Amino acid sequence: EIHRKLDASLSTFGATVGTFVVVVAIAGAIAAWPRIMAALRSLPGLMPAAVAATVTAVLGVALNDSGMSATLDFLGEDVLDRAEAERTRDAYLAMLDAVREAGVRSNVSLKLTAMGLLGDAGFALQNVDAIVERAAANDDPFVRIDMEGSAVTEPTLDLFERVFAERRNVGPVLQAMLRRTPGDVARAIELGARVRLCKGAYAEGPGVAPDVSWQGKAPGPYDRAADAQANDAIRALGDPKCKAS
């Protein structure tokens, strides 16, 4: 009963915060618009990318003005056409330039299948590397590699490590629901990589992910993965008496 009431309270709180953020973003966008448009006028010849940059950068400025940062994502996945993957890459480059010109505190997130991973991993690597290199010039240089279905988990993490070996301003998302994730968390800790942990939204078979009846119960896969990351951070602080709980 306590857990049910707590879940209901958290849901109400989350909805309230979400509404507040939207209201603040709209209000901030009005004040931020001249600054954003001045930055976008420096990006000729990239109208679709500039439109995406306009929308996301306006919201980023609005959130910044409210004391929050943001992450920008040019949505897309399962791209097989090289020209389309290059257009997606160029949209990210334009967004990063607009963020820098507008003085927005924001980073970017991307899906590797939008970069051409399904057709040519080497080609996708070149696209991601260009984005990570461009992002390094921004105040917030981080690039988050979103996780997709389990069919591309291994190639996603392989490509991440290849980029991470040369540039540290990149990190993956890990899905707690996958059976393999404890090992992936341990590997990320070993690398010293910055990870975003999520429960996972993809429908996966029982050989890949356990039955989802664990949701809402503790400790579940998410709790265990989060504890591993938290305990590693505590160890880095040098206090052996502390433990995540």
Check: CB of residue 57 under 8 Å from CB of residue 98.
yes
- Pairing type for strands 143-145 and 196-198 reads unpaired
pLDDT at site 72: 84
pLDDT at site 70: 79
Which residues, 6+ apart, have CB-to-CB distance to 161 below 8 Å?
191
List residues with catalytic annotation.
146, 196
pLDDT at site 1: 45
What is the mean pLDDT for each group of 10 consecutive residues in the chain (245 residues)?
42 43 47 52 51 60 73 88 95 89 87 96 98 95 94 96 96 88 90 87 72 50 66 54 44
pLDDT at site 15: 44
pLDDT at site 229: 66
